[in-house]
């Protein structure tokens, strides 16, 4: 044999032997076959079920938060820039529209749209009913994607014509309460120095499944509210800023604040910046609690799956006490012996993760595209179970689950190293 020939190193050969033994135990090829199959199947099934439930919990929790955020932001956008005053009502003081400021805000990376708006409270009155609400005026620069998604009948108010329209977009809940349909005319009363009355035509109906918003807001042409307030054509209540990514709300809110903090309009007005978290703290505080609930669910499932693996591995170790004693009597050290069962546990965990991901992601995709699981909108604000599961969440969940199970396996594998070969062989 050539002197330059290099055979396998002892360490690598030992690892191959340990892996081979682990594979034989997994397949039932070594003594103790009577319990190996059921134990391994139960441990694998526990991980499959755990991963499936964790993925669905994460997907549904993320989806619910995403849908509610989009609905709430659809009514009042992500960031608002308004008059710097102490007025917290919907009867706002005007600011002067400034195209240079709009250009600077649009230039901020992450800002999708800057749109004008006006809000004004009033009373809708029919022959038999009366209802208070906030009328929101929008212009042709308004991004209508959200309104189009929740539109159930008719069309959106016309804002791109040369003359203002008296179109009114009303919620289904208010239309049912006031017994109105698309095409009906309704009078709205505004309380200023004197009561002013305006006639509107219901152009469309919407349903966001958010009762507090559906019964509080209606949409019309911004120019109508300018005339009702006696404002000039360049005076508005403020700007709404739509973001490309909600996750960037806080840094973009700070960037908008820095851009507007020292701005002084031609009419001498200072500007105030407020994010949707600041204007709707109760809703977003409630949504933040979902993160804690999801974390608790995932932690409990990991613990249950981990203890299931621990009990399974302990049974496999105790069942192969004679094999362990024989290997130790042949000179196998403690750590290589422990590594056999760690290899075995890792194989079971990987198989469980593979099938758990396939089942969990499969069910999530079916729900996302088919919407077979329905909800009662009156209780959940949604008509189907929402699904949202970013790729990085899937990766982090799998890495975390595998790491947790692996750490839990170190303790049981220590039991194999503590078995005395003399006592083990006596049990033969």
Two tokens, residue 140: 């042709």
Residue 76 placed within a domain: no
pTM, entire model: 0.77
Q: Are residues 111 and 230 in the same domain?
A: yes
Residue 359 placed within a domain: yes
Residue 4 placed within a domain: no
Place of tokens 């996302």: 368
User: Judging by DSSP bridges, how do beta strands 111-125 and 217-221 pair with one another?
Assistant: unpaired
Residue 378 placed within a domain: yes
Q: How many helices (H) and strands (E) does the chain have?
A: 15, 12
Q: Are residues 305 and 225 in the same domain?
A: no
Q: Are residues 44 and 98 in the same domain?
A: no
Domain boundary (269, 298, 321) is at 269
Residue 75 placed within a domain: no
CA dihedral of 259, 262, 266, 270, whole degrees rounded to 10: 100
Asked if 46 and 305 count as a contact pair (C-beta separation under 8 A), the reply is yes
Q: Are residues 215 and 290 in the same domain?
A: no
27 pLDDT tier (thresholds 50, 70, 90): low
Residue 28 placed within a domain: yes
Distance CA 336, CA 321 (A): 16
Q: Are residues 134 and 185 in the same domain?
A: yes
Distance CA 36, CA 307 (A): 17
Asked if 329 and 425 count as a contact pair (C-beta separation under 8 A), the reply is yes
Domain boundary (236, 269, 302) is at 269
- Which pLDDT value is given to residue 5? 47
Asked if 214 and 223 count as a contact pair (C-beta separation under 8 A), the reply is no
Q: Are residues 362 and 261 in the same domain?
A: no
Residue 254 placed within a domain: yes
Q: Are residues 339 and 248 in the same domain?
A: no
Q: Are residues 257 and 326 in the same domain?
A: no
Q: Are residues 155 and 249 in the same domain?
A: yes
Residue 105 clears pLDDT 90, i.e. is over it: yes
Write the pLDDT tens digit of every residue in 391-418: 988 999 888 888 887 787 777 777 766 6
Two tokens, residue 320: 């192969």
- Which pLDDT value is given to residue 203? 95
Domain boundary (244, 269, 294) is at 269
Domain count, the chain: 2
33 pLDDT tier (thresholds 50, 70, 90): very low
Q: Are residues 212 and 302 in the same domain?
A: no
- Residue numbers of the domain that contains 212: 85-269
Write the pLDDT tens digit of every residue in 304-322: 887 877 887 777 777 777 7
Distance in angstroms between the alpha carbons of the first and the last residue of the chain: 43
Residue 202 placed within a domain: yes
């Amino acid at each position: 044999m050539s002197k330059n020939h290099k055979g396998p190193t002892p360490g690598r050969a030992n690892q191959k032997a340990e892996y081979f033994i682990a594979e034989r135990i997994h397949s039932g090829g070594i003594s103790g076959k009577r319990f190996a199959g059921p134990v391994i199947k139960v441990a694998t099934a526990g991980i499959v079920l755990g991963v499936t439930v964790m993925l669905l919990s994460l997907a549904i929790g993320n989806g619910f938060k995403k849908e509610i955020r989009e609905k709430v932001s659809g009514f009042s956008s992500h960031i608002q820039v308004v008059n710097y005053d102490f007025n917290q009502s919907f009867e706002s003081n005007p600011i002067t529209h400034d195209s240079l400021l709009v250009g600077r805000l649009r230039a901020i990376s992450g800002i999708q749209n800057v749109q004008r708006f006006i809000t004004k409270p009033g009373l809708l009155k029919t022959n038999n009913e009366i209802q208070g609400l906030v009328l929101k005026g929008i212009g042709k620069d308004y991004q209508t994607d959200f309104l189009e998604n929740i539109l159930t009948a008719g069309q959106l108010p016309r804002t791109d014509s040369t003359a203002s329209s008296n179109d009114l977009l009303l919620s289904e809940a208010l239309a049912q309460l006031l017994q109105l349909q698309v095409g009906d005319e309704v009078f709205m009363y505004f309380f200023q120095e004197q009561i002013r009355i305006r006639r509107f035509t219901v152009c469309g109906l919407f349903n966001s499944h958010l009762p507090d918003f559906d019964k509080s807001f209606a949409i019309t042409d911004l120019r109508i509210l300018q005339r009702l307030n006696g404002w000039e054509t360049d005076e508005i209540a403020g700007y709404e800023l739509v973001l490309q990514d909600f996750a960037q709300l806080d840094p973009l809110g700070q960037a908008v604040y820095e851009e507007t903090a020292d701005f002084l309009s031609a009419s001498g007005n200072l500007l105030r910046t407020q994010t949707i978290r600041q204007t709707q703290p109760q809703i977003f505080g409630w949504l933040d609690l979902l993160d804690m609930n999801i974390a608790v669910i995932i932690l409990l499932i990991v613990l249950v799956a981990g203890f299931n693996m621990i009990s399974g591995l302990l049974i496999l170790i105790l069942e192969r006490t004679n094999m362990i004693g024989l290997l130790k009597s042949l000179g196998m050290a403690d750590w290589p012996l422990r590594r056999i069962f760690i290899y075995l546990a890792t194989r079971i965990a990987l198989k469980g993760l593979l099938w758990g991901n396939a089942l969990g992601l499969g069910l999530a995709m079916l729900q996302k595209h088919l919407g077979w699981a329905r909800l009662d909108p009156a209780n959940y604000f949604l008509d189907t179970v929402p699904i949202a599961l970013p790729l990085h969440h899937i990766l982090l969940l799998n890495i975390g689950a595998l790491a947790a199970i692996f750490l839990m396996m170190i303790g049981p594998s220590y039991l194999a190293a503590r078995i005395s070969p003399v006592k083990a062989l006596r049990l033969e």
